[in-house]
Amino acid sequence: MKLEVLPVLGIGDVTEGDDLAALIATAAPWLRDGDVLVVTSKIVSKAEGRLVDVPVDGPEREAARAEVLAAETARPVARRGSTRIVQTHHGFVMASAGVDASNVDRSRLVLLPKDPDASARALRAALRERHGADVAVIISDTMGRPWRNGLTDVALGVAGMPALRDHRGQVDPYGNRLAITQMAVVDELAGAGELVKGKCDQVPVAVIRGYLTAPDPSDGDGVVPTLVRDAAHDLFSLGTAEARAEGLRAAATLGESAPPPPWPVPGTLDRTPPGPTESGSTPATVDSTTLARAIDTVAGAVAPGTRFAPVTDERVRAELDTDLPAGAALLDCRPPDAEPEPAALIRFGADLHRLRAALAAEGLGSTVRPAPDGVVGAVLLVVAGEAATTSV
């Protein structure tokens, strides 16, 4: 495959109501059938009137910008200093919901297109029907990426080609059948187009030639339904504040034996304990370092003198609890006083739950059992990894 990435020069400033198809066709009369047109979302938004008037400076400007951001936000994801990462009503997770103050008069802000896939379909239809160019259209915008510095352009909308190239079911040169490989080709093409557009050169459109032999006769499914991952399958959908809140809720509703699920998502936190261990499975053995880390976590929060001590002597373990799951740990838990007052017992119960929450954070389930006769003022805590816990 030989690719060419060509800038479309001479489009100039785009204003509300402009015929974007006519501007592009005039600037690029050399367009061919099968070209992929990568169009910066900002000029689409300008042409569609997705602009908001704001004060030019001062606290009034910041207040107005915050109000616009709130209106464009479906869900806050993360915040650090003045930076806001949010999910837009489209489903995109990005800084400031894509609200932009660059390359526009200072008295205005540019919002993302209302429906980027629909914008791509409309632009493609206009170019085909009025200007005789059967092209695919990608609407692009700049995004940051978790875990990596730098920005890149990605696709917000597409028409005339699939958003994904699906390799699942194919066999690689080594005979391995591919199971999960789906390439987000529209994002790759959007990034390639940005190489000739730039951010300060006022080149809002690029053409990629050679990727397609012919556009899809249909417009395709678009970006939003294809590339936006739903929360139930997104391992990283929670922002910091949301994850903390879900963790506190899980701790508040912590059941016997089962640690909270490892990947909660908004509105779908499953607190059902896991089912029985399959016959013949090997129970997980509780690591002493992990156990000590959980105890250290709560050391500064429990009442002075509260004791959480691992029972390591096998004879003592057998005497205290004859029905321990294989690999489980046993903790001797005692309040500061041998005969505590009722209020101290309440505090001890709260401290015990703190420890159980810390254990759950380490992936360890726990079950409270009464101490045997003759052991005064203590309870036993059976701690196990998930497989061992569920066999109790």
Tokens of 189: 């093409």
d(CA 196, CA 27): 15
pLDDT at 254: 86
Report H helices in the chain. Answer: 20-27, 41-48, 58-72, 116-131, 185-197, 224-227, 240-252, 288-298, 314-320, 342-361, 386-389
- Among 201-215, 230-244, 365-379, name the one with the lowest average pLDDT: 365-379
d(CA 47, CA 224): 21
Each domain of the chain, given as residue ranges in start order, spans 4-50+112-228, 257-389
Residues 379-388: what's their mean pLDDT? Answer: 69
Residues 341-351: what's their mean pLDDT? Answer: 91
Query: Which tens digits make up the pLDDT trace of 102-112?
Result: 888 899 999 99
Fold (CATH) for 257-389: NADH Oxidase (3.40.109)
Tokens of 115: 């429906």
Q: Facing residues of 78 across strands? A: 85
Residues 19-33: what's their mean pLDDT? Answer: 96
Superfamily of domain covering 4-50+112-228: CofE-like (3.30.1330.100)
Q: Facing residues of 266 across strands? A: none
Please determine, for residue 192, whether its predicted confidence score (pLDDT) is greater than 60. Answer: yes
* pTM for the structure as a whole: 0.74
